[in-house]
Amino acid sequence: MRFKGKRVLVTGGARGIGAGIAKAFVEEGATVAINARTDASIATRCEADGIDYLRVPGEIGPREACFDVVNRAVDALGGLDVLVANAGIFNEVLFEDVTQEEFDANITVNLAGVFFCAQAAMPALKESQGNIVAIASDASIISYSGAPAYCAAKGGVTSLVRSLAVGYAAHPVRVNSVCPGNVETEMLLQSAAASGDAEGYLRQARGRAPARRMGVPREVAAAVLYLASDDAGYTTGVSLPVDGGGIAGFD
Protein backbone atom coordinates (compact mmCIF):
# COMPACT_ATOMS: atom_id res chain seq x y z
CA MET A 1 0.00 0.00 0.00
CA ARG A 2 2.69 2.48 -1.06
CA PHE A 3 0.09 5.04 -2.14
CA LYS A 4 -2.38 4.99 0.73
CA GLY A 5 -3.84 8.48 1.01
CA LYS A 6 -2.22 9.63 -2.25
CA ARG A 7 -4.14 11.42 -5.00
CA VAL A 8 -3.42 10.45 -8.58
CA LEU A 9 -4.54 11.65 -12.02
CA VAL A 10 -4.04 9.36 -15.03
CA THR A 11 -4.71 10.93 -18.42
CA GLY A 12 -5.84 8.53 -21.11
CA GLY A 13 -6.78 6.14 -18.32
CA ALA A 14 -9.82 4.39 -19.77
CA ARG A 15 -8.01 1.73 -21.77
CA GLY A 16 -4.67 0.11 -22.51
CA ILE A 17 -1.59 1.14 -20.57
CA GLY A 18 -3.44 3.96 -18.79
CA ALA A 19 -6.13 1.61 -17.51
CA GLY A 20 -3.48 -0.77 -16.16
CA ILE A 21 -1.75 2.11 -14.39
CA ALA A 22 -4.96 3.45 -12.84
CA LYS A 23 -5.97 0.04 -11.48
CA ALA A 24 -2.49 -0.60 -10.05
CA PHE A 25 -2.56 2.69 -8.13
CA VAL A 26 -5.95 1.85 -6.62
CA GLU A 27 -4.69 -1.58 -5.61
CA GLU A 28 -1.90 0.15 -3.67
CA GLY A 29 -4.22 2.50 -1.82
CA ALA A 30 -4.46 5.62 -3.99
CA THR A 31 -7.52 7.65 -4.86
CA VAL A 32 -7.46 7.89 -8.65
CA ALA A 33 -9.06 10.22 -11.16
CA ILE A 34 -8.96 9.06 -14.75
CA ASN A 35 -9.32 11.10 -17.88
CA ALA A 36 -10.54 10.06 -21.32
CA ARG A 37 -12.25 11.84 -24.16
CA THR A 38 -15.76 10.85 -23.03
CA ASP A 39 -17.46 10.15 -19.75
CA ALA A 40 -18.97 7.02 -21.27
CA SER A 41 -15.57 5.44 -21.83
CA ILE A 42 -14.58 6.18 -18.22
CA ALA A 43 -17.86 4.69 -17.01
CA THR A 44 -17.10 1.54 -19.01
CA ARG A 45 -13.69 1.30 -17.36
CA CYS A 46 -15.22 1.79 -13.89
CA GLU A 47 -17.61 -1.06 -14.58
CA ALA A 48 -14.92 -3.33 -16.02
CA ASP A 49 -12.59 -2.83 -13.04
CA GLY A 50 -15.29 -2.63 -10.38
CA ILE A 51 -13.72 0.63 -9.21
CA ASP A 52 -15.43 3.97 -8.75
CA TYR A 53 -12.75 6.17 -10.29
CA LEU A 54 -13.23 9.91 -10.23
CA ARG A 55 -14.15 10.95 -13.77
CA VAL A 56 -12.55 13.89 -15.57
CA PRO A 57 -13.44 13.55 -19.25
CA GLY A 58 -11.98 15.95 -21.80
CA GLU A 59 -9.50 16.43 -24.60
CA ILE A 60 -5.77 16.40 -23.92
CA GLY A 61 -3.55 18.61 -26.05
CA PRO A 62 -4.63 22.25 -26.23
CA ARG A 63 -3.53 24.29 -23.22
CA GLU A 64 -7.00 25.37 -22.14
CA ALA A 65 -8.35 21.83 -22.36
CA CYS A 66 -5.44 20.42 -20.33
CA PHE A 67 -5.88 23.03 -17.63
CA ASP A 68 -9.61 22.27 -17.47
CA VAL A 69 -9.01 18.52 -17.00
CA VAL A 70 -6.25 18.95 -14.42
CA ASN A 71 -8.05 21.63 -12.43
CA ARG A 72 -11.22 19.53 -12.24
CA ALA A 73 -9.16 16.56 -11.07
CA VAL A 74 -7.35 18.61 -8.41
CA ASP A 75 -10.69 19.94 -7.15
CA ALA A 76 -12.26 16.47 -7.06
CA LEU A 77 -9.24 14.88 -5.37
CA GLY A 78 -8.60 17.76 -2.97
CA GLY A 79 -5.05 18.13 -4.26
CA LEU A 80 -2.62 16.07 -6.31
CA ASP A 81 0.34 13.86 -5.48
CA VAL A 82 1.01 12.13 -8.81
CA LEU A 83 0.31 13.09 -12.41
CA VAL A 84 0.62 10.27 -14.92
CA ALA A 85 0.69 11.94 -18.33
CA ASN A 86 -0.29 8.96 -20.44
CA ALA A 87 -2.79 10.19 -23.05
CA GLY A 88 -1.45 9.68 -26.56
CA ILE A 89 -2.10 8.70 -30.14
CA PHE A 90 -0.16 6.56 -32.61
CA ASN A 91 -0.25 6.36 -36.38
CA GLU A 92 2.15 4.95 -38.92
CA VAL A 93 2.69 7.33 -41.82
CA LEU A 94 5.91 7.42 -43.81
CA PHE A 95 7.90 10.65 -43.69
CA GLU A 96 7.09 11.73 -47.25
CA ASP A 97 3.38 11.21 -46.65
CA VAL A 98 2.93 13.02 -43.32
CA THR A 99 0.41 15.84 -43.66
CA GLN A 100 0.27 19.01 -41.62
CA GLU A 101 -2.83 17.64 -39.90
CA GLU A 102 -1.13 14.37 -38.93
CA PHE A 103 2.00 16.14 -37.72
CA ASP A 104 0.01 18.66 -35.68
CA ALA A 105 -2.10 15.90 -34.09
CA ASN A 106 1.01 14.03 -32.92
CA ILE A 107 2.64 17.13 -31.48
CA THR A 108 -0.59 18.39 -29.89
CA VAL A 109 -1.63 15.20 -28.11
CA ASN A 110 1.66 13.40 -27.52
CA LEU A 111 3.85 16.37 -26.58
CA ALA A 112 1.75 19.46 -25.86
CA GLY A 113 -0.64 17.31 -23.84
CA VAL A 114 2.19 16.30 -21.50
CA PHE A 115 3.59 19.83 -21.41
CA PHE A 116 0.35 21.60 -20.52
CA CYS A 117 -0.96 18.95 -18.11
CA ALA A 118 2.35 19.23 -16.25
CA GLN A 119 2.10 23.01 -16.30
CA ALA A 120 -1.42 22.91 -14.91
CA ALA A 121 -0.52 20.35 -12.24
CA MET A 122 2.71 21.96 -11.03
CA PRO A 123 1.22 24.27 -8.36
CA ALA A 124 -0.58 21.36 -6.69
CA LEU A 125 2.48 19.10 -7.02
CA LYS A 126 4.75 21.73 -5.48
CA GLU A 127 2.35 21.95 -2.55
CA SER A 128 2.30 18.17 -2.04
CA GLN A 129 5.95 17.63 -3.06
CA GLY A 130 4.57 15.17 -5.57
CA ASN A 131 5.81 13.94 -8.91
CA ILE A 132 5.08 13.41 -12.59
CA VAL A 133 5.50 10.24 -14.62
CA ALA A 134 5.10 10.73 -18.37
CA ILE A 135 4.55 7.85 -20.74
CA ALA A 136 7.00 8.29 -23.58
CA SER A 137 8.05 5.39 -25.85
CA ASP A 138 11.02 3.33 -26.92
CA ALA A 139 10.61 5.39 -30.11
CA SER A 140 11.83 8.40 -28.13
CA ILE A 141 15.20 6.70 -27.72
CA ILE A 142 15.69 4.56 -30.84
CA SER A 143 14.51 5.32 -34.35
CA TYR A 144 11.42 3.91 -36.01
CA SER A 145 11.14 5.03 -39.63
CA GLY A 146 7.48 4.02 -39.92
CA ALA A 147 6.18 6.76 -37.61
CA PRO A 148 8.47 9.82 -37.75
CA ALA A 149 5.89 12.32 -36.42
CA TYR A 150 5.24 10.06 -33.43
CA CYS A 151 9.00 9.70 -32.83
CA ALA A 152 9.45 13.46 -32.94
CA ALA A 153 6.70 14.02 -30.39
CA LYS A 154 7.83 11.29 -28.00
CA GLY A 155 11.44 12.43 -28.26
CA GLY A 156 10.18 15.81 -27.12
CA VAL A 157 8.58 14.17 -24.09
CA THR A 158 11.84 12.68 -22.82
CA SER A 159 13.62 15.99 -23.36
CA LEU A 160 10.83 17.85 -21.55
CA VAL A 161 11.07 15.41 -18.64
CA ARG A 162 14.78 16.17 -18.20
CA SER A 163 14.14 19.92 -18.35
CA LEU A 164 11.38 19.80 -15.74
CA ALA A 165 13.36 17.43 -13.52
CA VAL A 166 16.23 19.91 -13.35
CA GLY A 167 13.98 22.93 -13.00
CA TYR A 168 11.82 21.59 -10.17
CA ALA A 169 14.17 19.27 -8.22
CA ALA A 170 14.60 21.84 -5.46
CA HIS A 171 10.87 22.28 -4.82
CA PRO A 172 11.00 19.18 -4.66
CA VAL A 173 8.95 17.78 -7.56
CA ARG A 174 10.37 14.74 -9.32
CA VAL A 175 9.72 14.19 -13.05
CA ASN A 176 10.42 10.92 -14.85
CA SER A 177 9.20 8.95 -17.84
CA VAL A 178 8.61 5.34 -18.81
CA CYS A 179 9.41 4.25 -22.35
CA PRO A 180 7.38 1.17 -23.30
CA GLY A 181 8.17 -1.01 -26.27
CA ASN A 182 5.40 -2.95 -27.95
CA VAL A 183 2.62 -3.52 -25.43
CA GLU A 184 -0.47 -5.57 -26.22
CA THR A 185 -3.20 -2.94 -26.06
CA GLU A 186 -6.25 -1.90 -28.03
CA MET A 187 -4.16 0.79 -29.77
CA LEU A 188 -1.59 -1.73 -30.99
CA LEU A 189 -4.28 -4.15 -32.15
CA GLN A 190 -5.93 -1.32 -34.09
CA SER A 191 -2.59 -0.57 -35.79
CA ALA A 192 -2.28 -4.26 -36.65
CA ALA A 193 -5.73 -4.30 -38.20
CA ALA A 194 -5.01 -1.14 -40.18
CA SER A 195 -1.83 -2.64 -41.64
CA GLY A 196 -3.77 -5.06 -43.83
CA ASP A 197 -1.84 -8.02 -42.41
CA ALA A 198 -2.74 -8.21 -38.75
CA GLU A 199 -1.08 -11.57 -38.09
CA GLY A 200 2.14 -10.50 -39.77
CA TYR A 201 2.13 -7.20 -37.89
CA LEU A 202 1.66 -8.94 -34.53
CA ARG A 203 4.28 -11.56 -35.34
CA GLN A 204 6.78 -8.79 -36.09
CA ALA A 205 5.78 -6.89 -32.94
CA ARG A 206 6.36 -9.97 -30.77
CA GLY A 207 9.69 -10.76 -32.40
CA ARG A 208 11.25 -7.30 -32.40
CA ALA A 209 12.57 -7.39 -28.82
CA PRO A 210 15.08 -9.97 -27.55
CA ALA A 211 12.41 -11.17 -25.11
CA ARG A 212 10.43 -12.37 -28.18
CA ARG A 213 7.12 -11.16 -26.85
CA MET A 214 5.13 -8.02 -26.29
CA GLY A 215 4.66 -6.47 -22.89
CA VAL A 216 1.36 -6.19 -21.03
CA PRO A 217 -0.02 -3.06 -19.32
CA ARG A 218 0.64 -4.28 -15.78
CA GLU A 219 4.39 -4.45 -16.54
CA VAL A 220 4.42 -0.80 -17.58
CA ALA A 221 2.27 0.03 -14.54
CA ALA A 222 4.84 -1.57 -12.23
CA ALA A 223 7.53 0.75 -13.57
CA VAL A 224 5.28 3.78 -13.24
CA LEU A 225 4.40 2.96 -9.63
CA TYR A 226 8.07 2.51 -8.76
CA LEU A 227 9.01 5.91 -10.19
CA ALA A 228 6.02 7.56 -8.48
CA SER A 229 6.80 5.97 -5.10
CA ASP A 230 9.05 7.02 -2.25
CA ASP A 231 11.29 4.09 -3.24
CA ALA A 232 12.43 6.32 -6.13
CA GLY A 233 12.82 9.40 -3.96
CA TYR A 234 16.34 10.09 -5.30
CA THR A 235 15.39 9.42 -8.92
CA THR A 236 14.43 12.23 -11.26
CA GLY A 237 14.96 13.02 -14.92
CA VAL A 238 15.16 9.39 -16.05
CA SER A 239 13.53 7.68 -19.02
CA LEU A 240 13.05 4.04 -18.03
CA PRO A 241 12.65 1.52 -20.88
CA VAL A 242 10.15 -1.29 -20.41
CA ASP A 243 10.73 -2.99 -23.72
CA GLY A 244 11.93 -6.58 -23.41
CA GLY A 245 15.49 -5.46 -24.18
CA GLY A 246 14.68 -3.78 -27.48
CA ILE A 247 16.71 -0.66 -26.78
CA ALA A 248 19.69 -2.71 -25.57
CA GLY A 249 20.15 -4.28 -29.00
CA PHE A 250 19.35 -7.26 -31.22
CA ASP A 251 20.70 -10.79 -31.17
**What pLDDT, in 10s, does the model give residues 94-152?**
999 999 999 999 999 999 999 999 999 999 999 999 999 999 999 999 988 889 999 99
Residues taking part in catalysis: 150
Mean pLDDT of 149-175: 97
Q: What pLDDT does 151 receive?
A: 95
pTM of the predicted protein model: 0.94
Mean pLDDT of 42-64: 97
User: With 90 as the cut, is the pLDDT of residue 36 above it?
Assistant: yes
To 5 degrees, how large is the angle CA 171–CA 177–CA 182? 170
Q: What pLDDT does 130 receive?
A: 98
- Concatenated DSSP letters for 14-77? SSHHHHHHHHHHHHTT-EEEE--S-HHHHHHHHHHHT---EE-----SSHHHHHHHHHHHHHHH
Q: What pLDDT does 20 receive?
A: 97
Domain map of the chain by residue range? 7-180+215-236, 184-214
Task: Tell me which architecture the domain covering 7-180+215-236 has in CATH.
Answer: 3-Layer(aba) Sandwich (3.40)
Angle between helical axes of 217-228 and 16-27 (0-180°, round to 10): 50
**What pLDDT, in 10s, does the model give residues 187-232?**
888 888 888 888 898 888 888 888 989 999 999 999 999 999 999 9
